Amino acid sequence: MANVPGLVTDPSKIKGGLVHVPSGGSKIPAYLAQPNQDGNYPGIVVIHEAFGLADHICDLARRFANIGYNAIAPDLYWRDGNPKDPGDIQTVFPVMFGLKDSQAVGDLEAAADFVNGLKGATGKVGAIGFCSGGRHTLLFACSSSKVDAAVDCWGGFIHRATPDAETTPSRPTKVLDLMGNLHCPLFGVFGGEDQNPPVELADEMKKRGAGKDVTTKVYQNAGHAFLADYRPSYKEGPAHELWKDATAFFAKHLK
């Protein structure tokens, strides 16, 4: 295995498994990871990439549980179906672009409510997402008061709906245009070699969030998805740097 940040070396310290989260008259599946010792813990909603609720996202939830969080990763694609072949981007795009923003926010709010309802929950909930999940993290933070700290990791298409459209019925508003409604501290993560989002949007994010608690950082020698240790895009040095920064950000605002 690659040298990955936050690796759980003692699995007995955590517990995890599938749960079903009530949302919008249904129950959506989610992966829940928790410390194995009773205590008072904040929550973190871990939001999956364009490919869906992959093992990597569940593993990240376990890493957060290992440092004292109730971490939940909801399957945002469950209602309408996951990509038939996550390895084929042509099957991923229609699912990713077709997910309604309003539906995603509702399910993320439900996930936040779920972890806040757990025994020992502190009432503080963070959110972190990657790729399309980074976009959903920013959308969540700008649309709901149920999140107390947000980390948007290379959220693509925050400045337009798709490569071909400024807005769509599923994505009726550019997420950057919602920055004035930001409800919580935000940490925007960008790879210096990334094209979507381009690094120029780091400054635009701070500009749109003027008067809000917005921090951005461009990680050098890193492109898109540099924390995804199951993909060739993984960059060990920047990944460890990001893990240190993100966990410090959450500790500051949630603990």
Report how far residue 208's alpha carbon sits from residue 230's, in angstroms, rounded to the nearest whole number. Answer: 33
Q: How would DSSP label each residue in 183-238? A: -S-EEEEEETT-BTTBTHHHHHHHHHTTTS-EEEEEETT--TTTT-TTSTT--HHH
Torsion of CA 28, 181, 223, 62, to 10 degrees: -40
Residues 224 and 191: beta-carbon distance below 8 Å: yes
* SS3 at position 252: helix
State the catalytic residues: 131, 194, 224
